[in-house]
Amino acid sequence: MEQASASTRNALLLGCVAAVATMLAACASTAGNAPEVSIEERLQKQHLQIGESIQRIPSFGISGWSYLDKRHVLIDNGPGKQYLIRTDIDCDELAFANHLGYTSTAGALTRFDRLKSRSASGWPIDCNIEAIHQLDKLPALQ
């Protein structure tokens, strides 16, 4: 009887492994077919465009943030003041972060600072800021 239950467990385990492998293969093949959306296109959907490069954002006014892609985060700094942060490495885990922290140089967020968070599994995320751009509203269509 013990031998039959062991072989049944092995068959169930093998079936589960096969099912998971099939699902992972399906995810991988559909992800590879999705066209890459540029940061400009993502911003356009929010009626924004990349403006001039700036050196600092006053950190006392930061009121929110949005993940855009693995290298870009949108920072809200009060009504009508939005900025694009580009990191020096891919920070994919920020897509799943609930909170965003940052280091601050003299009361401002600068290119010498880092975005900080925790991954879903609790590991620290540390992304150096490579560039900061002001975001401008797109002109209204007539």
Measured CA to CA, the distance from residue 13 to residue 55 in angstroms comes to: 56
The reported pLDDT for the residue numbered 32 is 47
The reported pLDDT for the residue numbered 30 is 39
The reported pLDDT for the residue numbered 140 is 77
The reported pLDDT for the residue numbered 1 is 43
Q: Is the pTM of this model over 0.75?
A: no
* Residue 75 · residue 127 · CB < 8 Å: no
Q: Which residue numbers in the chain have pLDDT < 50?
A: 1-3, 10-32
The reported pLDDT for the residue numbered 35 is 67
